[in-house]
Amino acid sequence: MFNVAQCENLPDDLAVAPPAPEPGLIEPAADALIKATGIDFRIGGDRAYYAPAHDYVRVPPPQAYFETIDWHRTALHELGHATGHPSRVGRDLGGAFGTKKYAFEELVAEMNAAFCCASLGIVPTVRHADYLASWLEVLREDNRAIVRAASRASKAADWLLAFLPQPDGASRTGTGEADETDIDRRAA
């Protein structure tokens, strides 16, 4: 048995529209970035994920989180996964849950979220220990894994942040590519 809110593609007379996020819960810069990327970003449901087969991100509404900062971190984490789509940065997203490949992609997405949060002035919280444990095995077995993950996360963040609207209303490049100034600013 399923709750209607847990189902997708139901007939209109059965589907329940998710509540809109309460005003003021989403940082304007993060909201503008999400919209500017053009990634299909859906707010609703009770879990956060990127669906590679259908190329969309879904996150619960901000009010579902204890702290709205966690919504931002989660949204940017899932957008990090979405950059793995072949039409964007392109990464292998085929790792099944519990595999080293899956753990590595989680590390990439989480580092991307940290880079994006820093660029947006959002101070992220650290995920709890059991979430980090899946990465430890990968890091123990491959002493270069953290460097490879950081490189891929940096490419993901560069792609996303290139869409960050500037005060004049334009994006930095509009192509998803960061220039050296953008990279230097983020590294500072």
pLDDT digits (tens, 9 = 90+) for 99-130: 889 989 999 999 999 999 999 998 866 664 55
pLDDT tens profile 156-187: 999 999 998 776 655 555 444 544 444 444 44
β-bridge partners, 51? 56
In order, the DSSP letters of 69-104 are HHHHHHHHHHHHHHTTSTTTT-----PPTTSHHHHH
Token pair belonging to 72: 């931002």
Helix boundaries (H) for 16-144 = 28-37, 68-82, 100-120, 129-141
Shortest CA distance to 117 belongs to which of 152, 68, 82? 68
Residue type, 42: R
Helix (DSSP H) and strand (DSSP E) numbers for the chain? 6, 3
Spans of all domains in the chain: 18-187
pTM score, whole prediction: 0.77
